[in-house]
Amino acid sequence: MNAEILSRRTLRFVNVAHALDHFVLLIYPTAVIAIAAQTGLGYGELIGLATGAFVAFGLCSLPMGWLADRFGRRTMLAIFFFGYGLSCLGVASAGSPTAFAFWLCVLGLASAIYHPVGSAMLVTHATRLGRDLGMNGVWGNAGAATASGVTALLASGLGWQAAFIVPGLLCLGCGAAFLALVPGDGEGSRGKGEGAPVIAVARPIPLLIVFAFAIIAGGMTFNITTIALPKVVDERVGAALPLALIGSVATLVFAFGALTQLAMGRLIDRYSLPTLFLGLSILQPVGLGIAAVSTGLPMLAGLVLTMAALYGQVVINDAMVARYVPAAYRTRAYSVRYFLGFTVSGFVVPMIAVLHDRGGFGLVLGIAASFGAVIFASAFGFFALTRVAAKRPLVPAA
């Protein structure tokens, strides 16, 4: 197959996989409202059952880069599609808390494949790094944005099981199409994504440390906000809203993140990554702080600001790995990047349950705002450290 055609097809499936990754992982936080109404169990108890999913999402991302190097990225992405489909059907069949916890854990294991493998595939086949990262981010955000609305509609109309069965069948179909249309990994289009020069770094260890803090804190704010959003809307926007409307409002908040990702993708090709990161990092603590102390429309405005910053940071951080890490090490670098961000943040689920029981979502969002402040401090440190190397010559990518 022609390399250019292979790259285009690969990018399409990588984008679809990104949408499915975020969509499926966020089905349960909305479906749990319907499950609680049917089973009589409390929100805190039910949301806690997803702990294994979010821990596996991060913890298992570490070996995925090594597995992709050994067995091929195409193979791993195919396992992602089929694993997601089967685990969705498993959750739909669950009839006890133990079964929910088990199948959600399997779902988290499958979801761990995408980010380290898909990100490396995207960078390999990209023609313009910033544009393609931004577009990929929009697909992921679209999955997250529609998860609440679609799940609410399916759960309200057909029962909560349908909210898992329909996406599960879609994942299985995408897996079959991927194997049929993408015959191999390919070597990429040799565009700017793969061949862009690696930026020289004068002090790599301090730079890695502040980047790690930014990733960990970003993972915490990302998971707190995305997991809690449907219930936050349920409690703090208006009383007795129907489930379908709760999901629609949550979807609208997520949609603003897509606009930021598209903008960031364009800006990455034009401006300094540290400068963009620093400017964007201010928005998270501000937005979360507003959301923590308000209700109704002001609270929604704070969440919109937060969501824009969260998804913009995802694009910038992925671009940093692509620009600062040689090509031969990128798959493993993405594994470490998502391991740090998602493993620690996987413990957000029980933390939300405990904090919600003790102080409601004012306390939950206030804690998230403190993590946002850590992101800003890390971005400032990254900016200061990279200024030292600003005039160093670029070296070719390996």
176-211: per-residue pLDDT in tens?
999 999 888 766 544 444 445 556 555 678 888 888
The predicted model gives 309-330 an average pLDDT of: 80
Amino acid 201: pLDDT: 59
- What average pLDDT score do residues 135-145 get? 82
What is the three-class DSSP state of 22?
A: helix
Q: Which of 12, 50, 52 is nearest to 29 (CA)?
A: 50
Which has more pLDDT, 276 or 129? 276
Task: State the Cα–Cα distance between residues 178 and 149, nearest whole angstrom.
Answer: 27
Judge whether 254 and 141 are in contact, CB under 8 Å. Answer: yes
Q: What is the pLDDT of residue 71?
A: 86
Cα–Cα distance measured from residue 49 to residue 28, given in angstroms and rounded to the nearest whole number: 10
Distance between CA 196 and CA 92 in Å, rounded? 45
- pLDDT class for 174, splitting at 50, 70, 90? very high
Quick check: 191 and 389 in contact, CB under 8 A?
Answer: no
Tell me the per-residue pLDDT of 206-231, one tens digit each, with 9 for 90 and over.
888 888 888 888 888 888 887 777 77
Select the more confidently predicted residue: 89 or 262.
89
Which residue ranges form the domains of the chain, and what is each CATH number? 3-388 (1.20.1250.20)
Position 240 scores a pLDDT of: 53
Dihedral Cα 359, 366, 23, 100, nearest 10 deg? -30
pLDDT band with cut points at 50, 70 and 90 for residue 394: very low
Two structure tokens written together for 229? 């959003």
Question: What percentage of the chain reaches a pLDDT higher than 70?
Answer: 86
Q: Is 117 helix (H, G, I), strand (E, B) or coil?
A: helix
Flag whether pLDDT at 254 surpasses 90. no
pLDDT for 190 equals 46
DSSP states along 264-328: HHHHHTTS-HHHHHHHHHTHHHHHHHHHHT--HHHHHHHHHHHHHHHHHHHHHHHHHHHHHS-GG
Which tokens in the block code for residue 207? 């730079």
**pTM for the structure as a whole:** 0.72
pLDDT at 165: 94
pLDDT for position 346: 63
Percent of the chain whose predicted confidence (pLDDT) is above 90: 18
- C-alpha 221/C-alpha 392 separation (Å) is 34
Nearest alpha carbon to residue 310 among 227, 244, 249: 227
Q: Which residues contact 20 (CB under 8 A, 6 or more apart)?
A: 81, 84, 143, 167, 170, 171, 174
What's 53-111 look like in SS3?
Answer: HHHHHHHCHHHHHHHHHHHCHHHHHHHHHHHHHHHHHHHHCCCCHHHHHHHHHHHHHHH
Please tell me the distance from the alpha carbon of residue 22 to that of residue 317, in angstroms, as a whole number: 17
